[in-house]
Structure 1
Amino acid sequence: MISKLRFMTLLKSLLLAFCVVGAYKTLAQQHPVADLNVLWTPEPTVIDGKRVAYYELRIVSQVRDSLALKALKVINSSDHSVVASFNEEDLKHRFHNEDADGKEKKGVLNPDASGVIYLEIVLPQTDGGVHLLHQLDVVAVDGQPKGTYTLQGGKIQRSKTSPVVLGMPLRGGPWVAIYEPSWERGHRRVMFTTDGEQHIPGRFAIDFIMPDQQGHFSNGNSDSTRNWYGYSAPVLAASDGVVVATRIDFMESLTLSAHPDYPSSRATGNYIAIAIDNNRVVFYEHLKPGSITVKSGQRVRKGDVIAAIGFTGQTTGPHLHFHVADRNSPLGAEGVPFVIDTFSLLGAYTDPAGLGEQPWTPSENKKVVKEHPGPNTVIMFQP
């Protein structure tokens, strides 16, 4: 039998332990191990019939310890339902440490550092607004206190918005709409810093390349710029608007192998920027030397021929880079969603490794209205 003295001593020890744990949890709640915030408040678009949002969740460490990302829930703050969930393996492929200096471990936030989780979420078919909250489980892996922490933050409240509706930027086809949100160096995940601010101008960018029926991008020697099927194809104004910028000083190499290795500051090559309604700017990049037919201040109409596809700037082959942004800056702006008023869906590359090398997978010829072309889909533009 435990003596009264021993019992009282044990009781005091337990009470002290509970107090310490309680104080510890309170301290952790008052001073979270990391903060969550959203880089850009998302605007929904429609891809493959689904209402989706592309955005980035930043996690900023508040401790001198590595934090392993274990699970993320995206919650509808209107009804508390789970909109999307990601496990540890998912997060390894979606997370990127900022300023890692080569010391990056997949899915682990470095001490006293920040990182970004790239998210593409299928939204509920509701009123069109976006009302989200994020719940992230992390584990402190090195220092003290060790343990699992649940962080909440990155609240998103956006009323109903509609993406910009554009006409066709090119004629006919087929055209491959080349992009993939998961590509580590794809437009979706390339962040630029200008004037101390970070932006993702290519969040919804598409590279349009013309293939033949076998999926090849060129006829004969693929090193020859002029052998590419889409080379010199007319580029069209996708909307009424006013030209706010052009660049025309890039020359073109006759072969891909002789193409200069341009820095990101010269990535656009020859380009046109056209301001349209709703304070949006449409960018057309990598244009052919001497093909630009417009100048700053000129008003254009939807369907006007404004240039031709070329091979200028930071590119690996002739194509049209096409995106919409919230300001007139190729790199210092946020990429915003857009939809094409109508196009025909012919098929898709189910394996991106086959781009330019293998036939795409055909589908039933389907007319699509007011959607953003899906990743690596093959489409046809028709009046």
Structure 2
Amino acid sequence: MFAAGMLMAAAVPGYGTGPAVPAPGPQFTPLTAAVMTKPTPFEATDGKTHLSYELLTTNALPSSARVRLDRVEVRDARTHRVVGSLSGQALADAANPVGDPLPGADGYTPAPPGPTPTVIPGSQEWVIWLDLALDRGQRVPKVLEHHLSGAVLTASGASPFEETVQITPTGRTAPLNLNAPVRPGTWYSSESCCGNTHHRRGLGPINGRFYVPQRFAIDWYRVGEQGQTWEGDPARLASYLSYRQPVVAAAGGRVVEVQDGIPDNAPPVTPPVPPIEQTVGNHVTVEVAPGRYLLYAHLKPGSLKVREGDHVEPGRVLGLIGNSGNSTTPHLHFQVMTTPEFFPTDSPPFTFREFRVVGQVEPRLWDDNLGLQPTGVLPITPSPYDGPHRARYPLDREVLEF
């Protein structure tokens, strides 16, 4: 249930750890790189501590010079010890041009293998999707550095290179630990971190810079006793068990933004892309800490129970699940933001106080294809992470009970 591009500390093909290697001194580098967010550790249901972030990488050479990227190492900047790496097919599956997402991010099918080797044309920018997953007890470095190696390809041949780029501190503030944003019951966590989904890999150029505004967002679907998410005619909103389910405050705070009046879309066909200001449809945004906002999106028009300026306590009903905005089938889009507005925002990780994993869904079923299945019953199978969890983040396609 993990993407092929996940960085693991275990020694498996395409990944690796290694001895301490000192960083080089000043040098001209064919590649430049920058991280888009401060990598912040969080514990997920697999029991590992994850740091999920991106490395924007530019071939700074003329268009006649391509760069073959053979290996990306993430190192502890203090000791230079490798804590995770990508190479070969795993690297190819975790890198793409900024304007050309990898197949599979649309959610319909698993991504086919990317082209191997990874070759970045001259004067072009790519994004490398990183998910560092540390085993229990493994120390999170305070500062990370990234070591790139490969070869510059020109008409005269291949010239090997190595470079250390983008030294960045890791986040030291614990993620928000939240209550459930929905009423008790069985729920399907769709499009959550850390695979090739449109949330995790949704790179957007907004107001002159790149963002991944939904990095840790989760789409929640109500699941019935027989594993069903809809019954009857999938073209009717009322057929979906999520529709009109209460949305509740996952933490106390002040309501800073409310939008209502956007009609529900008719499922199960993907609607036209709405104007950018209507992307998340009817929604409520609650400030719960300085620089931390909870977004409850795609709500039913006319169902919102709060106004801007209201102070809410955990568990208060904010509205009902609908199908407004950029939504094909009824669900709750929930995430933490760093700004009151969805565009632009960063998307930091979060955890839930208490829940139980009761299964997983192997096929990628999500908003745009859930209502197109022969039935609304999810193909739920046992998960290696079944059981109770506290202060953890649910991974993609897990079925859980709040």
1:77-96 superposed Cα distances (whole Å, 9 cap, x missing partner): 23332211111211211112
Q: CA deviation at 1:144?
A: 4.8
Q: Select which of 39, 43, 47 maps to 2:44.
A: 47
Q: CA deviation at 1:194?
A: 2.6
1:157-193 superposed Cα distances (whole Å, 9 cap, x missing partner): 2363211111110012210111254655511111223
Higher mean C-alpha displacement, 77-86 vs 371-380: 77-86
Question: Residues 225-264 of structure 1: matches in 2 within 5 Å?
Answer: 225-257=237-269, 259-264=271-276
Higher mean C-alpha displacement, 139-148 vs 76-85: 139-148
Q: Select which of 216, 222, 226 maps to 2:228.
A: 216
- CA distance change for structure 1 residues 307 and 129 in 2, over 3 Å: closer, same or farther? farther
| Unaligned runs of at least 5 residues, structure 2 | 1-24, 103-113, 371-375
1:75·1:134 contact (CA, 8 Å) conserved in 2? yes
Tell me whether 1:30 sits opposite 2:42 in the alignment.
Answer: no
1-side partners of 2:140 and 2:30: how far apart? 34
2:188·2:222 contact (CA, 8 Å) conserved in 1? yes
1-side partners of 2:227 and 2:354: how far apart? 23
- What is the TM-score when the length of structure 1 is the normalising length? 0.84
Q: Select which of 145, 149, 154 maps to 1:133.
A: 145
Q: CA deviation at 1:128?
A: 5.2
1:124-148 superposed Cα distances (whole Å, 9 cap, x missing partner): 6456554221111232234456322
Q: Select which of 348, 354, 359 maps to 2:379.
A: 359
| Unaligned runs of at least 5 residues, structure 1 | 1-27
1-side partners of 2:191 and 2:88: how far apart? 25
Larger radius of gyration: 1
Tell me whether 1:108 sits opposite 2:119 in the alignment.
Answer: yes
1:29-69 superposed Cα distances (whole Å, 9 cap, x missing partner): 73211112212111111102211111111112121222122
Question: Residues 327-346 of structure 1: matches in 2 within 5 Å?
Answer: 327-346=339-358
Higher mean C-alpha displacement, 238-247 vs 90-99: 90-99
Per the alignment, residue 378 of structure 1 pairs with 399
Q: CA deviation at 1:357?
A: 5.1
Higher mean C-alpha displacement, 226-235 vs 191-200: 191-200
1:45·1:53 contact (CA, 8 Å) conserved in 2? yes
- The one-letter code of the counterpart of 2:54 is E
Per the alignment, residue 79 of structure 2 pairs with 79
Q: Select which of 299, 305, 314 maps to 1:287.
A: 299
- Report the 3-state secondary structure (helix = DSSP H, G, I; strand = E; otherwise coil) of the residue aligned with 1:341: strand
Instruction: Tell me the percent identity.
Output: 26
- Report the 3-state secondary structure (helix = DSSP H, G, I; strand = E; otherwise coil) of the residue aligned with 1:55: strand
1:68-125 superposed Cα distances (whole Å, 9 cap, x missing partner): 22111111223332211111211211112124699x9773222112111011111364
1:129·1:159 contact (CA, 8 Å) conserved in 2? no
Q: CA deviation at 1:303?
A: 0.5
1:305-333 superposed Cα distances (whole Å, 9 cap, x missing partner): 00110001111210000000111120201
Task: Number of aligned residue pairs: give it.
Answer: 353
2-side partners of 1:310 and 1:51: how far apart? 34
Per the alignment, residue 98 of structure 1 pairs with 98
1:132·1:156 contact (CA, 8 Å) conserved in 2? yes
1:36·1:152 contact (CA, 8 Å) conserved in 2? no
- Report the 3-state secondary structure (helix = DSSP H, G, I; strand = E; otherwise coil) of the residue aligned with 2:303: coil
1-side partners of 2:54 and 2:387: how far apart? 32
- CA distance change for structure 1 residues 159 and 182 in 2, over 3 Å: closer, same or farther? closer
2:193·2:395 contact (CA, 8 Å) conserved in 1? no
- Report the 3-state secondary structure (helix = DSSP H, G, I; strand = E; otherwise coil) of the residue aligned with 1:89: helix
Q: CA deviation at 1:213?
A: 4.4
- The one-letter code of the counterpart of 1:334 is D
- Report the 3-state secondary structure (helix = DSSP H, G, I; strand = E; otherwise coil) of the residue aligned with 2:93: helix
Q: Select which of 54, 57, 82 maps to 2:55.
A: 57
2-side partners of 1:43 and 1:159: how far apart? 4
2-side partners of 1:175 and 1:340: how far apart? 13
Q: CA deviation at 1:199?
A: 1.5
- The one-letter code of the counterpart of 1:186 is H
2-side partners of 1:142 and 1:249: how far apart? 57
2-side partners of 1:258 and 1:136: how far apart? 40
Tell me whether 1:349 sits opposite 2:361 in the alignment.
Answer: yes
1:282-321 superposed Cα distances (whole Å, 9 cap, x missing partner): 0011000111111111111111000110001111210000
Per the alignment, residue 15 of structure 1 pairs with none
1-side partners of 2:87 and 2:197: how far apart? 22
Higher mean C-alpha displacement, 169-178 vs 31-40: 31-40
1:243·1:272 contact (CA, 8 Å) conserved in 2? yes
1:247·1:271 contact (CA, 8 Å) conserved in 2? yes
Q: CA deviation at 1:353?
A: 5.4
1:232·1:288 contact (CA, 8 Å) conserved in 2? yes
2-side partners of 1:79 and 1:163: how far apart? 26
RMSD: 2.6
1-side partners of 2:69 and 2:192: how far apart? 23
- The one-letter code of the counterpart of 1:370 is A
- The one-letter code of the counterpart of 2:183 is R
Larger proportion of helix: 1
2-side partners of 1:315 and 1:45: how far apart? 28
